[in-house]
């Protein structure tokens, strides 16, 4: 019988994941075994006859279940980036087991008793700030997840958590299936009018790969976005826009309406069970914002500033479309198209003009160079570790002394088994154990335009900022310097986690940074300064509409989670009501945002979508500090590294931010950058 590779130490370079040697079928048995092993570790802590101490209880619990955590990160990352029917089946089977195991820990009375004992004596212990934070978080993770409940309510909590884990998985599987299902094959070249040559070539190549004649378009972003942005054919723009907007909303086997209602009601019920008014009250207790009232106050204050600008921008766009093409009513499938046309008119700037300067490999090198100049990191591509797909790039990251900082995986192109969007994740966290600093394995996953037969992968400017955004998250992971894995890297409050990612986007607009990597893929010519100037000038283009859109998503999230949802029976009707104060375009009956809102129904952003805007205030304020002294100023960069990037969740984020900045962030910085201040 062959031994399951997941159950023994990985004898690989840098202890990297042995992707090619893993048999998918082995995951299920590995999960079952490591859950049992982890239970035994918990039993050892509980049965320790010595008095509970920080070391034998809190620290022992922190490092329990390491192999289970490692297998989970590998498995669930594959389920997002390289899934198949077998992986999805195991995910459905194993998620309830993991949920049950998590409850076994948090509802273990004897274990909680030991934690409580240490917690109650914390003022008599000589703990570091990080140890104090860990103790507080461990205690809260029990008290906030049912440790103080009577037995009947604990049983109910287990039921709810098991059901939620299945529903979230199913939600995501349905969206992936919907994305993969839609294909728009065009056989008449006249219907491609307006499309850039690169988009047409990619569509031709996709059709050929599926043995079809013509040009094939899908809902994958590199296919979808160019089509709705450039295609002159309004009927076809409408067709693909409706398909994208109706994912999970087609009253068929892939419909998510019921799942949305069940998830929100179960989350509400769970919060009530734990003594909280709503799911949002439960979540926000452990966020910078603290309360739903604070989130709504923040959102509405921004809305008040952005809405007049957004309405004015929308009217200008409407007038422009009418003057240009006689369009009487601007619809959702017109937004990208006429925005691009107006941008070209106002700034003589369009993505097709910029793309030759943003060859993917050059942008990657640019991100690496910026990281080197700011944080003394060096990136070397390596080929001696396993990949889960041939497209994945692998790097060894070192500091200036040659010490290992991280292993970095980068996965840039769409494919059938990969969900849409872009994200950063980790295959192994950073921690310090027995005096050894165990370095992290970090990954970013994007969906950019693939190279074609005649052109390399050329990025739109939006894709450039996306790469820098995810790379900012990656830096947060790579530069982690904490003792405990649960406080390391991006393990911070969710309304703080977007600061490192969003602040990195700022370098994409700066001449000194662009000149490092924005070079024409054929001639090597550095991007002309007049184009840089136009990028800068156009950065506030339609910012009112963009801000309104982000606020609307945050308000929809708070609508689902900040009240009792049990009276909501119609997902679409409720959504229309939630959007009523932020709507610009006419309502589209066939479309529904909630049924494909993966951030809040599959990912971890429930009651937290506002955090993108919250973190924008932080990032705009932080970057103003860089701008005051120079965007590559070493002193400010080291302060950012020492007080923000390396500290993870070891202290309250506002304390860390003020240590870096010297003061609290000013919301005006964001409004200034967005051009929304008079």
Give the residue numbers marked as catalytic. 470
Quickly list DSSP for 525-541. PBPPHHHHHHHHHGGGT
Cα–Cα distance for residue pair 239/244, rounded to 1 Å = 9
For Cα atoms 245, 246, 251, give the angle at the middle one, nearest 5 degrees: 170
For residue 189, give the DSSP letter. G
Cα–Cα distance for residue pair 370/188, rounded to 1 Å = 45
Cα–Cα distance for residue pair 344/354, rounded to 1 Å = 12
Contact assessment for residue 54 and residue 135, using Cβ atoms and an 8 Å cutoff: yes
Q: How far is CA 6 from the centre of its chain?
A: 27
Instruction: Provide the b/e sequence for 43-52 (b: ≥16 CB within 10 Å).
Output: eebbeeeeeb
Q: Phi and psi for 584 in degrees, rounded to 5?
A: -115, -50
Cα–Cα distance for residue pair 190/611, rounded to 1 Å = 44
SS3 of residue 410 by DSSP:
strand
In sequence order, what are the beta bridge partners of 438?
A: 431
Quickly list DSSP for 478-522. HT---S-GGGSTT-S-TTTTHHHHHHHHGGGG-HHHHHHH-B-TT
Cα–Cα distance for residue pair 396/409, rounded to 1 Å = 9
Helix axes 109-120, 129-143, angle to 10 degrees: 140
Contact assessment for residue 57 and residue 114, using Cβ atoms and an 8 Å cutoff: yes
Nearest CA-CA partner of 429 in 135, 98, 62 = 62
The rounded radius of gyration (Å) of the Cα atoms in the chain is 25
Please tell me the chain's helix, strand, coil percentages from 3-state DSSP, rounded to the nearest 5. 60, 5, 35
Q: Which helix (H) or strand (E) holds 393?
A: strand 393-398
Quickly list DSSP for 125-136. S---HHHHHHHH
Which residues have CB under 8 Å from 644's CB, separation 6+?
499, 500, 656, 657, 660
Contact assessment for residue 166 and residue 96, using Cβ atoms and an 8 Å cutoff: yes
In sequence order, what are the beta bridge partners of 216?
A: 185
SS3 of residue 376 by DSSP:
coil
Nearest CA-CA partner of 161 in 178, 144, 173, 177 = 144
Half-sphere exposure of 208 (CA within 13 A, CB side): 8
């Amino acid at each position: 019988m062959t031994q399951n590779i997941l159950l023994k130490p990985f004898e690989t370079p840098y202890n990297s994941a042995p992707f090619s040697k893993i048999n998918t079928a082995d995951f299920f048995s590995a999960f079952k075994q490591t859950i049992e092993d982890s239970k035994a570790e918990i039993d050892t802590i509980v049965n320790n006859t010595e008095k509970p101490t920080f070391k034998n209880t809190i620290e022992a619990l922190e490092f329990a279940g390491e192999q289970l955590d490692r297998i989970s990160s590998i498995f669930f990352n594959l389920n997002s980036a390289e899934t198949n029917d077998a992986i999805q089946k195991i995910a459905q089977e194993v998620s309830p087991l993991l949920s049950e195991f998590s409850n076994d820990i948090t509802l273990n009375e004897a274990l909680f008793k030991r934690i409580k004992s240490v917690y109650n004596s914390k003022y008599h212990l000589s703990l570091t700030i990080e140890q104090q934070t860990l103790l507080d978080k461990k205690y809260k993770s029990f008290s906030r997840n049912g440790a103080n409940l009577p037995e009947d309510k604990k049983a109910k909590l287990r039921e709810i958590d098991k059901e939620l884990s299945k529903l979230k998985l199913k939600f995501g599987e349905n969206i992936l299936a919907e994305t993969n299902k839609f294909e728009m094959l065009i056989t008449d070249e006249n219907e491609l009018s307006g499309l850039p040559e690169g988009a047409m070539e990619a569509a031709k190549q996709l059709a050929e790969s599926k043995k079809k004649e013509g040009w094939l378009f899908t809902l994958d972003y590199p296919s979808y976005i160019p089509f709705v942005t450039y295609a002159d054919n309004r009927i076809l723009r409408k067709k693909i826009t409706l398909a994208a907007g109706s994912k999970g909303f087609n009253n068929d086997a892939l419909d998510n309406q019921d799942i949305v209602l069940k998830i929100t009601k179960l989350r509400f019920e769970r919060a009530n069970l734990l003594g909280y008014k709503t799911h949002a009250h439960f979540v926000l207790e452990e966020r910078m914002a603290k309360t739903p009232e604070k989130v709504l106050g923040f959102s509405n204050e921004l809305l008040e500033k952005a809405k007049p600008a957004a309405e004015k921008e929308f009217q200008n766009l409407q007038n422009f479309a009418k003057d240009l093409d006689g369009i009487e009513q601007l619809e959702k499938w017109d937004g990208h198209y006429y925005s691009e046309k107006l941008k070209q008119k106002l700034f003589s700037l369009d993505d097709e003009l910029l793309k030759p300067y943003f060859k993917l490999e050059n942008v990657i090198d640019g991100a690496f160079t910026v990281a080197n100049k700011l944080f003394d990191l060096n990136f070397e591509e390596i080929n001696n570790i396993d990949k889960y797909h041939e497209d994945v790039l692998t790097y060894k990251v070192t500091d200036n002394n040659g010490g290992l900082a991280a292993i970095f995986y980068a996965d840039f192109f769409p494919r059938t088994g990969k969900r849409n969007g872009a994200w950063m994740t980790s295959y192994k966290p950073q921690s310090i154990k027995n005096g050894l600093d165990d370095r992290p394995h970090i990954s970013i996953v994007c969906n950019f335009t693939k190279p074609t037969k005649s052109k390399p992968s050329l990025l739109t400017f939006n894709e450039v900022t996306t790469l820098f955004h995810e790379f900012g998250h990656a830096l947060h992971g790579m530069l982690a310097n904490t003792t405990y894995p649960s406080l390391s890297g991006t393990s911070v409050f969710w309304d703080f986690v977007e600061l490192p990612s969003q602040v990195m986007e700022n370098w994409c607009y700066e001449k000194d940074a662009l000149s490092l990597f924005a070079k024409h893929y054929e001639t090597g010519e550095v991007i002309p300064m007049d184009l840089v100037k136009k990028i800068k000038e156009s950065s506030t283009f339609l910012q009112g509409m963009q801000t309104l859109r982000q606020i609307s998503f945050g308000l929809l999230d708070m609508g689902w989670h900040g009240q009792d949802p049990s009276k909501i029976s119609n997902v679409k009707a409720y959504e229309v009501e939630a959007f009523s104060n932020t709507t610009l375009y006419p309502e589209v009956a066939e479309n529904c945002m909630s049924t494909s809102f993966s951030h809040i129904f599959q990912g971890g952003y429930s009651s937290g979508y506002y955090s993108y805007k919250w973190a924008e205030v932080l990032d705009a304020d932080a970057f103003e500090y860089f701008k005051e002294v120079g965007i590559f100023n070493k002193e400010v960069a080291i302060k950012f590294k020492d007080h923000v990037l390396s500290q993870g969740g070891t202290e309250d984020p506002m304390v860390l931010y003020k240590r870096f900045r010297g003061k609290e962030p000013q919301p005006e910085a964001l409004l200034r950058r967005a051009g929304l201040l008079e």
